[in-house]
Amino acid sequence: MNQKTSNEITIKIKCQLSEFYKIIEEKGFKKIRQFSMDDTYFIPKEIELDKLSTRDILSKAVLVRDIIGKTSNKRTKLITYKIKNIDEKGNILNQESINCNILDIEDAKKLLKAIGYEEIMNIKEEDIIYEKDGFELAIKNINNGDKLIEIEETEEINTIEKLIQKVNEIGIPIYTDNYFVKKAEIELDKILNKKTKNEKEHKKY
């Protein structure tokens, strides 16, 4: 098991990914890694979804994560729990991930169900990591979702303010109204809104 504490920002990309890749490559960034990530979210069965905010629901979630390398043949299987310190404006001040390596994805899911958890959603994405002078951009293509960049702090760029300044200096097509896009909240909101709509439709009949 390992624990990781980090600062990071996550931003929406403004253009098509093919155009974005071309832009950052022209700026000297090189592709160094590529992988797919498959996250299945589990929450305790007793949670009443209609009485909690999306953020509160996700604060109790455990992930079963399957990462398959494209540039390497490495496969990583994990149970992951995330702790995020978020201020009243929605800015992520810092976050911690607790990761436990597992041998089998389906066995992990069965275990969580056996101890009172239920599956709430699944998020699949394709990731490409670009690097220049030790600075990495993780480009995340969410299946049926947004196109994002995730950037983690380095030894030199070690605060949120420095990360934001650095990414703006690069001059890439991004939305600058939100540096803390929360993909899991976006995807869970879609599911809960659809559930509410279906329930309202059902009550009509």
- Residue range 16-43, pLDDT digits in tens: 999 999 999 999 999 999 999 999 999 9
Domain ranges of the chain: 2-203
- Per-residue pLDDT band for 180 (boundaries 50, 70, 90) equals very high
Which residue's structure tokens are 């992951």? 80
pTM of the model as a whole? 0.90
* Dist. CA 104–CA 108, nearest whole Å: 6
With respect to CATH, is domain 2-203 assigned 3.40.50.2300? Answer: no
| Residue 33, beta-bridge partner list | 129
- Cβ–Cβ contacts within 10 Å for residue 41, how many? 23
Structure tokens at 189: 């909101």
Closest by CA position to 14, among listed 126, 171, 130 = 171
Which residue's structure tokens are 């049926």? 144
83-102 pLDDT, tens digit each: 988 888 777 878 889 999 99
Long-range CB pairs of 105-109, under 8 A, 24+ apart, other chains included? 105/64, 105/66, 105/77, 108/64, 108/77, 108/79, 109/40, 109/42, 109/64
